């Protein structure tokens, strides 16, 4: 089984990772670095896996996450509705469009941009075989989020968060445990309206986070905040569905690319790309473009 | 593999387990694993310095004591057990293929007779699954990805059970809504917990999930199951709930009430036996009578001159308001006057059970009339004057 592919670096020298187009990947070394020692085996064809991993990084939207949503669909799912003006968090003011009858309205244009970045990052992490952990502390959506995580083959934690789960993981979870590579917060606050402990702990453990931040949340420590409503069922269902689609699409793409590269055997992608569901147009065009040159 | 060196009378070349756990290759906890990871020098990602196993506080010693057995170790034990079983069968002259666990137990009690009172301290030879406590296998694959989707919660089995149960509750509620919409819903009360079953207790649930639970977790789980069982559900959900119920032996089974017997004159009578200290009594209570009690052929007034003993005899009848209505003939031997009175009282109460209703039997049981008094004379110990009395303490 091919693991998330950069060769595990030594402690001294850490390769800076793939070129600047991977700026979206905030932690290129962590995915390879985090794996346990004894389980680390070198991939069978290093150049092939390196090519597979570098392929998505050449395009700005390799997985075409833009088509998954629109400002209209966000509006219909009531993502723009925030809390009352009195609950507003100071750091959310840039994301708030305005206030109507005392209720804050979130700027959906900004939400769309942030959401696209977040989904793109999630898809890249899933493509590289990273562990994604969905965290939320809202009892109303606990079942939905756990089902979402299970259906896309990732992990969820919507229960009581034990103190040192991330910071003291070897003791709590096992000696050689692998920590999550991405944490997605569907609710940043816990049941007493305080920031979830996992936000701070993920920042301590250098784990990138994606979070849906409402108008009463603190977006500071979250790597990819997505300003939006986290209280209405349609909004949460939309977010769950978006993340699930992004992850499954990325994994499917990975499987396809691996099959493709394994079939051809020779270095360089094959010009005839087998028809893939949801194949991104820039990706296909790039492959066709590359395939023309021998 | 070593050749089976069996000489007649030699012990089975298989390690027998005495007194509970064997403290085998004790792992020094997680610190050693991390320390060895550091020592090998490659890829220890979490570079914080762990404290060395030599310096352990009292708290950590208790944590280190948690023994864990590797999968290979357990497999080896199972192989050794199977080989040992065959050797034992050969030794006993029986067929190794059809040597069951009961035969093994019998052979061990024959070969190693033990006079120890504590049954768990005697030599046993059982399958390692029953001896070593159940443990968790490694929870993740080669790439480090855990198998279970709730691994990062810490209590994956418990939370996945809650998730499943809640899913069933949602499904049942949805079904109920559909029925209501069609107008087919009827409020039928289901007697979901008859007297014969109870919910799992916390220890049983912990054993089932191989996980530690807190009391609140357990309470939440039972509440969720109660909620599920209150909804109209189909066979799959009933089966799910049934997994967490255990049958309970009904109380009244242990108390068998003898049916009435009839003698030649047609008089109903019943016999009972009773014990108290070293006195044994057998009483025959007749259905109709005037309250006469005959003990060893002698009237009770003459046999028990002391009022206290006669009051003891009177107590069961007085309790049931049947003072002058029964005749009793009884025999008693052993003990003193007080213990003989107590023994006869117990015998009479047991005999009376055949004449009265079940509720009255329950009342008698709660009054203590049907319980054998377990108190016996305590032995005198050496170094003391009596059972408890010590010799007079002299200061000098």
Which three-class secondary structure state does DSSP give residue A105? Answer: strand
B143 CB neighbours in chain A (<8 A) are 1, 3-4, 35, 39, 129
Q: What distance in Å separates residue A283's CA from the closest CA in chain B? A: 28
What is the pLDDT at residue B276?
A: 94
Query: For A56-109, how does the pLDDT look when each residue is reduced to its tens digit (9 = 90+)?
Result: 999 999 999 999 999 999 999 999 999 999 999 999 999 999 999 999 999 999
CB atoms within 10 A of CB B190: 11
The percentage of chain B sitting over the pLDDT mark of 90, rounded to a whole number, equals 56
What is the pLDDT at residue A15?
A: 45
How large is the average pLDDT for residues B377-394? 94
Query: For B352-375, how does the pLDDT look when each residue is reduced to its tens digit (9 = 90+)?
Result: 999 988 888 888 999 999 999 999
Asked whether the beta carbons of residue B152 and residue A157 sit closer than 8 angstroms, the reply is yes
Query: For B116-137, how does the pLDDT look when each residue is reduced to its tens digit (9 = 90+)?
Result: 989 899 999 999 988 888 777 7
Which three-class secondary structure state does DSSP give residue B277? Answer: coil
Query: For A187-211, how does the pLDDT look when each residue is reduced to its tens digit (9 = 90+)?
Result: 999 999 999 999 999 999 999 999 9
Comparison of pLDDT for A28 and A153, the residue scoring more: A153
- Alpha-carbon distance of A12 to B91, in angstroms, equals 63
The tokens for A204 are: 């301590």
The superfamily in CATH containing domain A69-262 is: Glucose-6-phosphate isomerase like protein; domain 1 (3.40.50.10490)
The number of residues making up chain A comes to 294
How large is the average pLDDT for residues B137-162? 92
What is the pLDDT at residue A265?
A: 76
Asked whether the beta carbons of residue A40 and residue B45 sit closer than 8 angstroms, the reply is no
What is the pLDDT at residue B259?
A: 80
* Nearest neighbour of A129 by CB, restricted to B45, B143, B163: B143
The tokens for B193 are: 């917990």
Judge whether residue B379 has pLDDT over 90: yes
A33 CB neighbours in chain B (<8 A) are 45
8-state DSSP, A240: H
Rounded to the nearest angstrom, the gap between the alpha carbon of residue A173 and the centroid of all alpha carbons in its chain is: 23
CB atoms within 10 A of CB A173: 22
pLDDT bracket for residue B50 (50, 70, 90): low
Pairing, β A96-100 against β A103-106: antiparallel
Interface check A39 vs B, CB under 8 A: yes
Residue B123 in contact with residue B117, Cβ under 8 Å? no
What is the pLDDT at residue B279?
A: 95
How is chain B split among helix, strand and coil, in percent rounded to 5?
45, 10, 45
Residue B267: which residues within 8 A CB-CB, separation 6 or more? B286, B287, B288
What is the pLDDT at residue B358?
A: 86
Residue B222: which residues within 8 A CB-CB, separation 6 or more? B199
Three-state SS string over B318-348 comes to HHHCCCCCCEEEEEEECCCHHHHHHHHHHHH
Of the candidates B219, B207, B224, the residue with the CA atom closest to the CA atom of residue B161: B224
Asked whether the beta carbons of residue B143 and residue A1 sit closer than 8 angstroms, the reply is yes
Q: Which of A203-207, B37-41, B128-132, B253-257 has the lowest mean pLDDT?
A: B37-41
- Alpha-carbon distance of A150 to B320, in angstroms, equals 66
Interface check A12 vs B, CB under 8 A: no
Sheet containing strand A103-106, edge to edge, reads A81-84, A103-106, A96-100
Q: How far is CA A210 from CA A17, A125, A138, A225, in A?
A: 22, 12, 17, 6
Judge whether residue A266 has pLDDT over 50: yes
The tokens for B28 are: 């020094």
**Tokens 């691996």 label which residue?**
A258
Residue A137 in contact with residue A178, Cβ under 8 Å? no
How large is the average pLDDT for residues A217-232? 96
Class of domain B261-367: alpha beta
Compute φ and ψ for B271, nearest 5 degrees.
Answer: -110, 155
- Alpha-carbon distance of A222 to A228, in angstroms, equals 14
Compute the mean pLDDT over every residue in chain A, rounded to the nearest whole number: 83
How large is the average pLDDT for residues B55-83? 74
Query: For A67-82, how does the pLDDT look when each residue is reduced to its tens digit (9 = 90+)?
Result: 999 999 999 999 999 9
Judge whether residue B254 has pLDDT over 80: no
What ipTM describes this predicted complex? 0.75
Asked whether the beta carbons of residue B143 and residue A11 sit closer than 8 angstroms, the reply is no
Give domain limits for chain A. Answer: 69-262
What is the pLDDT at residue B20?
A: 41
Asked whether the beta carbons of residue A146 and residue B163 sit closer than 8 angstroms, the reply is yes
- Alpha-carbon distance of B145 to B152, in angstroms, equals 11
What is the pLDDT at residue A56?
A: 93
Pairing, β B293-295 against β B298-299: antiparallel
B379 CB-side CA count, 13 A: 3
Helix (H) or strand (E) holding A155: strand A155-157
Q: How far is CA A277 from CA A185, A240, A252, B14, B58, in A?
A: 28, 21, 9, 61, 60
Asked whether the beta carbons of residue B149 and residue A154 sit closer than 8 angstroms, the reply is yes
- Alpha-carbon distance of B334 to B279, in angstroms, equals 4
The tokens for B214 are: 């807190």
pLDDT bracket for residue A28 (50, 70, 90): very low
Judge whether residue B54 has pLDDT over 60: no
Comparison of pLDDT for A233 and A8, the residue scoring more: A233
What is the pLDDT at residue B187?
A: 66
Indicate left, alpha or beta for A206 from its phi (over 0: left) and psi (-120 to 50: alpha): left
Residue B352 in contact with residue B384, Cβ under 8 Å? no
Judge whether residue B309 has pLDDT over 90: yes
Please name the residue ranges forming H helices in chain A: 28-33, 46-54, 71-76, 108-127, 142-151, 169-173, 197-204, 233-264, 281-292
| Stretch(es) of chain B classified as CATH 3.30.230.10 | 261-367
What is the pLDDT at residue B141?
A: 87
Compute the mean pLDDT over every residue in chain B, rounded to the nearest whole number: 83
Asked whether the beta carbons of residue B45 and residue A131 sit closer than 8 angstroms, the reply is no
Q: Which of B27-31, B56-60, B307-311 has the lowest mean pLDDT?
A: B27-31
What is the pLDDT at residue A264?
A: 83
pLDDT bracket for residue A8 (50, 70, 90): very low
How large is the average pLDDT for residues B81-92? 95
Query: For B7-27, how does the pLDDT look when each residue is reduced to its tens digit (9 = 90+)?
Result: 444 444 444 444 444 444 444
B224 CB neighbours in chain A (<8 A) are none
Sheet containing strand A155-157, edge to edge, reads A155-157, A132-135, A182-185, A209-213, A224-227
Residue B126: which residues within 8 A CB-CB, separation 6 or more? B17, B101, B104
Pairing, β A182-185 against β A132-135: parallel
How large is the average pLDDT for residues A232-256? 96
Which three-class secondary structure state does DSSP give residue A213? Answer: strand
Comparison of pLDDT for A204 and B191, the residue scoring more: A204
Of the candidates A23, A55, A6, the residue with the CA atom closest to the CA atom of residue A250: A55
Rounded to the nearest angstrom, the gap between the alpha carbon of residue A24 and the centroid of all alpha carbons in its chain is: 11
B337 CB-side CA count, 13 A: 12
A11 CB neighbours in chain B (<8 A) are 43, 47
Query: For A12-23, how does the pLDDT look when each residue is reduced to its tens digit (9 = 90+)?
Result: 444 444 444 444
pLDDT bracket for residue B337 (50, 70, 90): very high
B151 CB neighbours in chain A (<8 A) are 155, 173
Query: For A127-150, how does the pLDDT look when each residue is reduced to its tens digit (9 = 90+)?
Result: 999 999 999 999 999 999 999 999
- Alpha-carbon distance of B107 to A273, in angstroms, equals 71
Which three-class secondary structure state does DSSP give residue A189? Answer: strand
What is the pLDDT at residue A43?
A: 56
């Amino acid at each position: 089984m091919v693991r998330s592919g950069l060769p595990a670096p030594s402690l001294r020298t850490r390769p800076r990772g793939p070129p600047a187009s991977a700026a979206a990947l905030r932690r290129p070394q962590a995915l390879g670095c985090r794996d346990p020692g004894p389980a680390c085996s070198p991939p069978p064809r290093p150049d092939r896996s390196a090519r597979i991993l570098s392929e998505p990084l050449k395009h700005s939207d390799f997985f075409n996450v833009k088509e998954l949503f629109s400002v209209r669909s966000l509006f219909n799912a009531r993502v723009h509705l925030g809390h009352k003006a009195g609950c507003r968090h100071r750091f959310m003011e840039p994301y708030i469009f305005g206030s109507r009858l005392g209720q804050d309205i979130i700027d959906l244009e900004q939400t769309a941009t942030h959401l696209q970045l977040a989904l793109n990052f999630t898809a890249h992490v899933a493509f590289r075989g990273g562990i994604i952990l969905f965290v939320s502390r809202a009892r109303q959506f606990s079942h939905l989020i756990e089902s979402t995580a299970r259906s896309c083959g990732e992990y969820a934690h919507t229960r009581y968060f034990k103190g040192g789960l991330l910071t003291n993981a070897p003791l709590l979870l096992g000696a050689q445990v692998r920590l999550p590579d991405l944490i997605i917060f569907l609710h940043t606050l816990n049941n007493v309206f305080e920031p979830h402990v996992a936000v701070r702990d993920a920042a301590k453990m250098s784990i990138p986070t994606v979070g849906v931040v409402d108008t009463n949340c603190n977006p500071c420590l979250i790597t990819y905040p997505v300003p939006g409503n986290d209280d209405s069922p349609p909004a949460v269902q939309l977010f769950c569905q978006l993340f699930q689609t992004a992850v499954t699409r990325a994994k499917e793409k990975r499987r396809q690319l691996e099959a493709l590269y394994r079939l051809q055997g020779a270095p360089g992608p094959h010009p005839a790309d087998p028809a893939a569901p949801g194949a991104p147009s820039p990706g296909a065009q790039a492959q066709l473009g590359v395939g023309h040159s021998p | 593999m070593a050749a089976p060196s069996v000489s007649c009378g030699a012990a089975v070349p298989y390690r027998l387990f005495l007194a509970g756990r064997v403290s085998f290759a004790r792992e020094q906890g997680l610190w050693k694993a991390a320390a060895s990871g550091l020592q090998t020098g490659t890829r220890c990602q979490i570079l914080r310095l762990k404290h060395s196993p030599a310096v352990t506080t009292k708290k950590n010693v208790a944590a280190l004591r948690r023994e864990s057995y590797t999968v290979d170790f357990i497999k080896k034990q199972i192989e050794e057990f199977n080989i040992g079983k065959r050797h034992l069968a050969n030794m006993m002259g029986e067929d190794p293929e059809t040597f069951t666990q009961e035969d093994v137990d019998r052979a061990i009690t024959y070969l190693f007779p033990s006079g120890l009172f504590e049954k768990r301290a005697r030599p046993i030879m059982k399958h390692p699954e029953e001896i070593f406590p159940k443990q968790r296998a490694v929870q993740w694959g080669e790439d480090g990805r855990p198998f279970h989707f709730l691994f990062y919660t810490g209590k994956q089995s418990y939370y996945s059970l809650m998730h499943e149960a809640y899913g069933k509750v949602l499904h049942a509620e949805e079904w109920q809504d559909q029925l209501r919409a069609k107008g087919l819903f009827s409020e039928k009360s289901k007697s979901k917990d008859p007297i014969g079953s109870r919910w799992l207790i916390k220890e049983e649930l912990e054993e089932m999930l191989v996980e530690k639970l807190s009391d609140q977790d357990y309470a939440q789980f039972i509440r969720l199951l109660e909620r599920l069982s209150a909804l109209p559900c189909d066979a799959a959900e009933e089966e799910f709930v049934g997994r967490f119920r255990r049958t309970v032996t009904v109380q009244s089974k242990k108390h068998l009430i003898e049916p009435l017997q009839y003698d030649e004159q047609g008089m109903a009578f019943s016999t009972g036996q009773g014990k108290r200290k070293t006195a044994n009594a057998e009483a025959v209570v007749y259905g109709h009578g005037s309250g006469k009690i005959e003990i060893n052929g002698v009237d009770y007034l003459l046999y028990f001159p002391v009022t206290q003993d006669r009051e003891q005899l009177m107590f069961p009848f007085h309790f049931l308001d049947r003072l002058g209505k029964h005749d009793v003939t009884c025999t008693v031997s052993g003990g003193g006057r007080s213990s003989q009175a107590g023994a006869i009282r117990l015998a009479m109460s047991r005999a009376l059970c055949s004449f009265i209703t079940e509720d009255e039997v329950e009342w008698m049981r709660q009054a203590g009339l049907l319980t054998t008094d377990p108190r016996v004379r305590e032995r005198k110990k050496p170094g003391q004057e009596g059972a408890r009395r010590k010799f007079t303490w002299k200061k000098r």
